[in-house]
Every structure is written in C-alpha cells, then in structure tokens.
A and B are shown apart, each in its own frame.
Chain A
Amino acid sequence: MDIPYTIEPRRDTGLYNAKVGIWLFLASEVMLFGALFSSYVLLRVGNEVWPHGLLNIPIGTFNTFVLITSSVTVVMCWVNLKLHNFGRAKFYLAITILCAFAFLGVKTKEYNDKFIHYSVRTTDGKEQTGHIEGDPRFLTLKKVLAKKAETISFAADPVHDARGRVTAEAKAEEKAHHGAHEFKPIKVSDITYLSSYVPSHSPYFAVYFLITGLHGLHVLGGALVMAYILFFSNKMWSKQPDRVTNRVEVAGLFWHFVDLVWIFLFPVLYLL
C-alpha cells in the first residue's frame, strides 16, 4: 500500500502531508525551547550573581557561522533537486552534514574545557577558578579525599572584572610569566569546596548544559536524518524524484529550526 500525499498535495491543506507534519512538530519544539528560555530568564533573575566571560565568544561565533552556512547548503541542496541536479544536491547535503559534525566537534571541545575547569573555595574564604595539574575531569572534594591526597596542584585563572574581562593587572602579570600557568599546591585540608564546571556547579552551568545539550542532540538527530537521505536516496530518486525533494525539504525545515534556536541561544548564553 502506498503512503498517500507524499508528493501530491491534499485538497484541504494544499500541502503534502509531511510538510504539515513537520510544521506541527516544529510548533511543539518552539514550546519546548520556549519553556527552557523561560526557565533561563527566571533562574537568571533569581540569582544575585550571574557569571560572565566563562564561555568562549570567538568559538561561539565560529559555531554560529558554521550553522548559518549549513542552513544555506541545505537550501541549495533542495534547489538542485528541484532543478534535477542530483549529484550537486548530494554535494550540498554532504557539506551540510559536515557542518553539523563540525559544530558538534567544537561543542565537544567546549564541554571538555568546562569539565577540566575548576572552582575551589578554601577555609580562608578565598574562591579561585583555574585548572588542576593533569587536567582531570569531574574531580570533586570527595574523590580527592578518597584518594588520600594531601595537596592538589592548582593554576589559578587571571583575575576577571565583573563583566568577565581579564583585568589590566592580571594581563601584566601573565605577560611577565610569558603566558605560562603556574601550578601552586593547595592543601586538601584547606579546601571547603571543589567542583569542575558541570551542571551541578551552579544554575548558570545547569542551564547552559541543558539548553546547549538538548540543542546538540537536535543537531545530531538532524545530521543523522540527512545522512540517511544522502546515502539511501539513489533508488527512490530514479523512481520518485519529487518524493526525495520533499524529504530534503522537510529535513531542511527541521534544520533551519535548529539554526533558529542557536541564533537566539548564542547571544543569550555567550554575550549577555
């Protein structure tokens, strides 16, 4: 039995079914991400201190360019399918998928940078952020005590101002040390709190990892769907080319939505 209205439009909607379906799905996704943005607003307003400068803006900007480029390439894929240039369409689809994995690769690096970055509070009331020698991930005070370590080697970050920018004094000091991070021992007995930048660290990172993680899963899902279309459409193209075109159109709509979410995510999380 053939699935109806995969190509020809329905009389009542004027559209083929998958298009109506994808827009309904995107409507639900708007509410999903909308709810998360709403949570972000409430958490941010409810916290007296909200960190700045903890996310790498050039990397975030690069990722934004990657997603924008991938949106263009998926549209160009659809254009070439409409013009019956199947080979060229597959080329653009392949570029889109590469952009998706480039985005995810950069995101993975960003996440890893957070997992090896630590906040330490000591008994003298001082709080420092920085790196532990060897760059361990997910270390906690409990784990350090279980290892019966007496000290940890800690390289503190340069001092930042309220907007997250490195102060002039810290820049001068870093220049004097030729940019090298100096590891200094901290007694484990003096530590009251130790955590890497993980979701449990603060509401800031909880929100950051939740929203960008969910967005990243959407990127992965979209990339996998497009990869399926790229590798398994040859047979269908020879028999029903319009159906392949519609599949790319529907996948493209989802992909543009993913790009749309990032267009708002980037300034909200990285810049504000």
Chain B
Amino acid sequence: MSDHSSPEHIKKSVRAYMFVFGALLVGTLLTVWAATLPFNNTHPRVGIAVALIIASVKSSLVAGYFMHLISEKKAIYATLATTAFFFAALMALTLWSMHDFPHFTLIRY
C-alpha cells in the first residue's frame, strides 16, 4: 500500500496493525461504556461529542494504518483534501440549518 514494501518493513508493520486492532476493540468498549454514563441524560450534546470523538479516533487509526494514509502519495492526499472540504461543508450546512424548520413542519406526536 506504500513504497515502503520491503519484507522487513512489512514485518514491522504487522506489529502496528495488531496494536491498532487492540486499540479499536478497546475504543469500541469505551464507546459503549461512555453511552451508559449519566451525562448522556443531563447533557446529551456532551454524550454526542464523546461518541463522535471516540469514533473519529478509531476511524483515524483505520485510515492511517490499515489504509496506509500516513505514508501515501500526494495525489491521494489531494483527492482526500477535496473530499474533506466538501464533507465538512455538507456537515456545516446541516448544523447551520438543523433548527431552521418552517412553521408546521416539525413532527409532533
């Protein structure tokens, strides 16, 4: 996945993969445990932030080590930078407008 593909380098990478595997399992358990803590009821936004931060750390590990993004070529970084920009714009527009409902369109039971 990168040009550092000599057998010796690859064998060293296996250790990193196993470390990331362990970290991902721990991160998953941490996410489930954090969802049971009281602040999820009293401060739901904190609960959402904690869950998304843990998910972001886990996804960074997958992207960085399993997908080898920590040692990729510029062409890939350029593609992903563009993607990240548009994804951030999509989420920013969502957060900006998420309370902007016209009258009588909120669903109430």
Chain A interfacial positions (CB closer than 8 Å to B): 12-15, 19-20, 23-24, 27, 30-31, 34-35, 37-38, 41-42, 45-49, 57, 61, 64-65, 68-69, 71-72, 75-76, 78-79, 82-83, 163, 203, 249, 252-253, 256-257, 259-260, 263-264, 266-268, 271-272
- Find chain A residues with CB under 8 A from B86 CB: 31
Interface residues of B in 73-107 (CB under 8 A from A): 73-76, 79-80, 82-83, 86-87, 90-91, 93-95, 97-99, 101, 105-107
- Find chain B residues with CB under 8 A from A82 CB: 5, 7, 10
Q: Is the interface of B mostly helix, strand, loop or mixed?
A: helix
- Find chain A residues with CB under 8 A from B63 CB: 256, 260
Q: CB distance B55 to A38 under 8 Å?
A: no
Contacts known (A76-B14, A256-B67); A68 close to B59, Cβ less than 8 A: no
Of A15, A71, A253, the contact of B75 (CB 8 Å cutoff): A15
Name the CB-closest residue of A to B73.
A14
The total of chain B residues at the interface (CB under 8 A) is 57
Contacts known (A31-B90, A46-B101); A272 close to B25, Cβ less than 8 A: no
**Complex-state Cα separation, A134 to B76, whole angstroms:** 54
Chain B interfacial positions (CB closer than 8 Å to A): 1, 5, 7, 10-11, 13-14, 17-18, 20-21, 24-25, 28-29, 31-32, 35, 40-41, 44, 47-48, 51-52, 54-55, 58-59, 62-63, 66-67, 73-76, 79-80, 82-83, 86-87, 90-91, 93-95, 97-99, 101, 105-109
Q: CB distance B35 to A267 under 8 Å?
A: yes
Q: CB distance B51 to A271 under 8 Å?
A: yes
**Complex-state Cα separation, A41 to B62, whole angstroms:** 24
Q: CB distance A23 to B80 under 8 Å?
A: yes
Q: CB distance B21 to A72 under 8 Å?
A: yes
Q: List 5 A-B contacts (CB under 8 A).
A: A71-B62, A252-B1, A256-B67, A260-B63, A263-B62
Q: CB distance B62 to A259 under 8 Å?
A: yes
Q: CB distance A260 to B107 under 8 Å?
A: no
Q: CB distance A79 to B14 under 8 Å?
A: yes
- Find chain A residues with CB under 8 A from B41 CB: 163
Of A46, A57, A64, A264, the contact of B107 (CB 8 Å cutoff): A46
- Find chain B residues with CB under 8 A from A46 CB: 101, 105-107
How far is the CB of A164 from the nearest CB of chain B, in Å? 11
**Complex-state Cα separation, A185 to B91, whole angstroms:** 48
**Complex-state Cα separation, A253 to B18, whole angstroms:** 18
Q: CB distance A41 to B82 under 8 Å?
A: no
Q: CB distance B62 to A14 under 8 Å?
A: no
Contacts known (A30-B87, A68-B24); A260 close to B62, Cβ less than 8 A: yes
